Every structure is written in C-alpha cells, then in structure tokens.
Homo-oligomer: A and B are copies of this chain.
C-alpha cells in the first residue's frame, strides 16, 4: 500500500505552502482570505491529480469539529425507528454531516455502552431515542456531555432539546372511533421494553373506556415484550378470552400486526369479526392486508425535526431550550369496522 497523500504532497506539487492548500480547500477564499484564481486552480489541479483526501481525524483534532452526529436507536427491529433514522439521515446529509448509528436493542447496559462510545467520538451532536431516560440522564452527567448539542426523543432530559410524540389526542380519536363503531370490549396490547413506555396511550385507553361507562377489565390489557412475536402471543391471549374482544389496539403498529396475524390464526376476519388498530403509521401500514388503521405522528418527520433542532443548537448553542411537540392524528384504514352483532 502506497503512503497516504497528504496536504504536504499537494502543496509541493502545486508549488505553494500547506497553509495555502488548506485555505483553498476549506474555501476560505470567499471569506477573509482572498486567493488568486491562478493559485487556486493549481492547487485544485494537484488535489485532483494526487487524489488527495483530507484526513478527517486531523481536521477534527485541530478544529474541534467532527462534522458527525450520533444517533442512538433503541430497536432495530421496529420499522418506526427506521422511519426516524431516515428522517435524521436526510437532514444530516443536507448539512453535509456523517451519521454514526448505535443500537441499544432496548437494553440499558447497551444504551450506556453506546453512549460512552459516542462520547469518545466527540460528535458535534447527538440524537438520542431513549428507552431509559432516567438512567441516561445520570450517564450523561458522568460523561460530561452536558455541553454538547443533544436532542432527545422518547423522553425529556433536563436542559436538552426534545422532540415529543404527543399521542394523547390521537389516542382519544382512536378510542372515539372504536366506541363510535359500537365496540365495547376493546383489548390493548402493551408490548414494550419497559412498563412506563406507551403509558400515555394506555392511560387514554383506560380513561376513554371509563368515560363510556365501561368497566375496566384487567384481562383486556395484555403486557408483553416489544417484538412482533410477543405481540402475536399477546393478541392470541386476548382472542382466547370469553367473551372475545371485538377490537384490539396495539401500543404500536408492530403489536397491531401481531393482532392481525393472531386473528388470521384463529380464523377471524378483520375487520368483520375483529377490528385492529395501532400507533406510529409505519411505512408498511397502508400495505398490510387489511390496511392498518393507526395513529400517526410521522416517523420520518420526527427524525427530521429532531435533526433540525440539533443543527439549530449546533449553530447557536445559546438558543433557549426547545421542545417540539409532534401532534398525532388518527388515520382510518381498512382494519377497523363496525362491531359485529
């Protein structure tokens, strides 16, 4: 392997000093350091001929800027988060930044680990999709990351910008929709890594039932893990209840898919025999059979907002802390219908 091409090589070849090369490359000519068109051309030519690529680490060391942001993703198995990643990536690229991904697999230990790794990279910013906000706050303090630009989602950290999914209103709309269709026995699959997650959705579900004068039956709420498999198992449990619920709400679309699958396995037709709804409106939701009724905040939009917030803070650290609420609304598709007689 031949030696790496450095700035020095370019300088020699163009017959100028390293400083000049640097100035040309970082395009400082537009600003306070003017450069002859001729010099500029020669440098660029040399760069081209030698195939020179500036060394990011050296640049970072000197400038303190990495042009990289880190993204902590809880669950690589949930399409919702892919959507968020896509949104983040789009904005990141617009800004000419790199994206470093770390997955936590919903485990607190790995959340900690990943955060530490991200800290060592001295990223210009971090977007944290949180599962365990409490622990993380502690960890962040220990890592002296306080100064850095950080945007969270899935939990609010004191003194940090945040994007918040507001599922309250959407949940209420969904419950009104189902009750309006005549459903009285509505099951809920609470498939999450940690009990506190999705609490708002569950709360609104319970409140809506109470308001409708329906008894709160513990059987109708199934707590289970966050995977599709868990969701399927949970849904089967609900379907084996007597009397059987006529509608099932999943805490997210993955759980709703579990319910769709469970219905098929029990020979039930959706929405004729059973209505199913979820949250998130993952990409695939409109393409499921039947298309899934769900509450949408917009995964990709969430990612975009988070990234925008982050870049705002990177550009101006003095800005007041912001919190962006992402409203969610009901999207009615084919998986919900009138309560069977």
Contacts and interface: CB of A to CB of B under 8 A. Distances in A.
Contacts of A82: 76, 79, 82
B122 A57 contact: yes
A321 interface: no
B228 A287 contact: yes
Contacts of A56: 57, 120-122
Interface residues of A, number: 55
Interface stretch (A93-101, A199-207, A323-331): A93-101
Contacts of A120: 53-56
Contact of A287 (B103, B119, B232): B232
Interface string A232-266: 10000000000000000000000001101101100
A284 B257 contact: yes
A77 B120 CA distance: 30
A144 B51 contact: yes
Nearest to A228: B287
Interface string A106-128: 00000000001101111000000
Given A76-B85, A261-B287, A264-B290, 11 more contacts: A1-B147, A53-B120, A56-B121, A56-B122, A57-B57, A57-B121, A57-B122, A77-B283, A85-B101, A99-B102, A260-B289
Which 5 A-B residue pairings sit nearest by Cβ, starting from the closest? Answer: A1-B147, A57-B60, A57-B57, A57-B61, A76-B86
